[in-house]
Amino acid sequence: MVYSKRKTISLEIKAEGRIIARIPNLLPDKEIRRIIEINKSKLYSKYKEYYMEGNHQLLGAKGYGDIYYNGATLPFVLGDIKLILEKGHGIEDSKIYYRRLTDGSRTLTVITDSEDFDFIRNCITNWYRKYAKETLAKKTVYYSKLMQTSYNRLTVKEQKTRWGSCSSKGNLNFNWKLMMMPEAAIDYVVVHELAHRKHMNHSSSFWREVEKTLPDYRDRREWLKKNGRYFSIY
C-alpha cells in the first residue's frame, strides 16, 4: 500500500501479480478493505486476462527492476523464494546466498552496492544456473540409466524458445529457467531429450519411448505448453 495526499484510492496490478493500492492518508482501514472487496472480481479478471492469456510480461514489467526488486517472489522448483536485496561493500564483493527458514519459507539474498538491475539479474541467474547444473546432472544420470541410453555433455544455458535440446553428438542442453518450474515439468524435459538419443525426431516411436518412462507425459507436456511462456519475463 502507498499512502499519499491523494483524494481517491486506486488499485493497480504490477509485474508478478503485485497489487499496488494508492490510498489517501486518512482513509480508514475498514473503508480500504471495503473498496478492495468491491473491486476483487475486477482485479482477478485483469490478472486472468494478462497472466492466463500469456501477456503477463506487459503488466508493468518494463525492465528487470519491475521483477528483481527487494521483496519480490521468484518461482523455484522447491517452493517460491523471497528476494532480499542488501547493501554491501562494493560491487566486487557482491554475494548471494539461499536460505530455508524454520517456517519453511525460502529467501535468496543478494548483497551488493550495484543498483544496476541487469547486474542483479545476472547474480540471480548465475545462482539458478549453478543449482540447475547440479539438479539436472543428477536427473539425467538417473533417467539415462532407467531408459538404458547414454549422452555426451550436459550444458545449462539461457534459451529463448527452448527448454532443452539434444544434438546428433549426444550433447544435451537445458534452460536454467526449468528450475523455476515444478519437478514434473523438469523431469519431462529431461526424459524428452534423452528419448532423442534413440529417436532424433518426434515420431510415434519417439513418443512411445517417452511414455514408457513417463506414462503421464501428455499432462506434463500440456502444462509446459500452457505455462512455459510465463517465464519469459525472468
Q: What is the pLDDT of residue 56?
A: 43
Q: What is the pLDDT of residue 233?
A: 83
CA distance 223 to 139: 20
pTM score, two decimals? 0.72
Domain map (residue ranges) of the chain: 2-58, 64-125, 131-233
Cβ burial, residue 22 (10 Å; 0-12/13-18/19+): middle
**Per-10-residue mean pLDDT for the chain, 234 residues long?**
68 58 74 73 59 43 71 92 85 83 92 85 94 97 97 93 93 97 96 97 97 96 90 85
CA distance 83 to 120: 11
CA distance 124 to 106: 14
CA distance 188 to 222: 11
Q: What is the pLDDT of residue 161?
A: 78
* Residue 57 and residue 233 in contact, taking contact as beta carbons nearer than 8 Å: yes
Radius of gyration of the chain (CA): 21
For 120-157, letters b (16+ CB in 10 Å) and e give: bbebbbebbbebbbebbeebbeebbeebeeebeebebe
Q: What is the pLDDT of residue 23?
A: 75
Q: What is the pLDDT of residue 181?
A: 93
Please tell me the CATH code under which domain 131-233 is placed.
3.30.2010.10
